[in-house]
Structure formats: C-alpha cells, structure tokens
Amino acid sequence: MNKRIAILISGRGSNMVALADAIASGAIPDAQIALIVSDKPSAGGLQLARDRGLKTAVVERRGLKREEHDREIIAVLQSHEVDLVCLAGYMRLLSPCFIEAFRGRILNIHPSLLPSFPGSDAHEQALEHGVKVSGCTVHFVDDTLDRGPIIAQRSVPVLDNDTEETLAARILDQEHRLYTEALKVVVEGSYKIVGRRVIRDC
C-alpha cells in the first residue's frame, strides 16, 4: 500500500516541489502526496502545489498556543490518513504532542551538515565560522532541535567569494536531490535505527 505523505511548508516550497515531482515521476514508487499544509496563507508553495493538482490546507496560527495550533494540524493530517510528514521550510517548532502523534515518521531538511549550525540562520553561521565545506542534512525529527537521527547528508564547497545567497543556492540544489533520496529510503523502510545511527539495509 502506498505511504501517504504530507508536506508542511511556510514559504516558497522548492523542496516540496522536488518531492512532489519526484513522486509524480515514479521515483518513489510506493508513495503518494496526501496533502500540502501551510501555516501561512501567503506561502508561495501553495500555488505551486495547486498548479500540480495537489490538495492543500492552510492552518493559520491565529494567536493560538503552539500546542493548540499543532493539535489542529494533527487533526487535519489524521483526517487525511497521513503516514509520513515531511517538513520542508516549515518555520515553526513542533510541540511534543505533534512529535508523539507521528513519532519516527517526521522528516526535516536542514541546510547545513548537522550537528553544525542548527537553527534558522545556518548559512550565516557557516560563513561566519569560516568552514570550507557545508551542505545539507535530512533527519528524523525528535524532541530536540535539529538533532534527530540523520538519514542522509551531502556536502558542498564553501567558496571564498560566497555570500549567504550564493551558498544557499548551491546547497538548495543538493537539498532537492537529497530529500528525494532520503524519503525513498524511509518509504521503502530499508533502514534500521541503532542508537543515533540510521543504518541502510544492503
């Protein structure tokens, strides 16, 4: 049976598009997009999702406490029988009730080689620190910030003349490929988790 995927976004949605297009092209055979959820009605990704005929839902915060807001999202996801949740530029931390409702079934992509440079300003941190290599990470989401078990990583060089924008663009290009590869592994269930390590079945 196909795994039903929800993708949560807050903005432009390029990773969402990469995943949706990969699934539409058959690159992840046992997956289907159930729903795209945004916490922001202005998210550019919503229109890109609609253009692809994908179902969308907007669950605005409206001043709700984090947990109340998350419970609304959980209800929407459950009503769409979602198996896996992919965070793709979703700019809110998840509350424990969300993690618990989908434990081991939430993925996130982050634009650095975690555990270096967690948080929302990864490119700025990388340039400030002066690293020569950065990259991107797809990981399971647990109760920690950007520290859940790592599914896949890819490195990119940091060039002497890089700005946040040029570095972000180089990393983003790899994010789109990496997220698709990592989601395929999780959909296929071809891994086990040993301690913090996600070990791929050979």
Q: By C-beta, is 14 or 95 nearer to ligand GRF?
A: 14
Q: Which of residues 61-90 bind ligand GRF (CB under 6 A)?
A: 88-89
Q: Which of 109, 141, 178, 186 binds ligand GRF (CB under 6 A)?
A: 109
DSSP string, 174-201: HHHHHHHHHHHHHHHT-EEEETTEEEE-
* Contact pattern from residue 174 through residue 193 relative to ligand GRF, giving x for each residue in contact according to CB under 6 A and a dash for the rest: -x------------------
User: Does position 134 bind ligand GRF by CB under 6 A?
Assistant: no
Q: Give me the least distance between CB of 26 and ligand GRF, in Å please.
A: 22
Residue 70 or 175: the one with the smaller Cβ distance to ligand GRF is 175
Q: How far apart are CA 3 and CA 137, in angstroms?
A: 22
Given the rule CB under 6 A, which of 11-19, 96-104, 142-150, 155-163 is the region that contacts ligand GRF? Answer: 11-19
CA distances from 82 to 5, 8, 34, 158, 161 (A): 6, 12, 7, 38, 43
Give the residue, chosen from 99, 111, 134, 146, that forms a contact with ligand GRF under the rule CB under 6 A: 111
User: What is the rounded CA–CA span in Å between residue 71 and residue 61?
Assistant: 11
Selected from 5, 6, 14, 99, the binder of ligand GRF by CB under 6 A is 14
From the list 69, 110, 123, 139, the catalytic residue is 110
Q: Max Cα separation, the chain?
A: 49
Is 110 in the active site?
yes
* 172 binding ligand GRF? (CB under 6 A): yes
- Long-range CB contacts for residues 150-156, cutoff 8 Å, separation at least 24: 150/114, 150/196, 150/198, 151/107, 151/182, 151/185, 151/186, 151/191, 151/198, 152/178, 152/181, 152/182, 152/185, 153/113, 153/114, 153/178, 154/178, 155/113
- Measured from the CB atom, the residue of 36 and 88 that comes closer to ligand GRF is 88
The residues annotated as belonging to the active site are 110
User: Which residues would be at the binding site for ligand GRF (CB under 6 A)?
Assistant: 9, 11-15, 88-89, 109-111, 172, 175
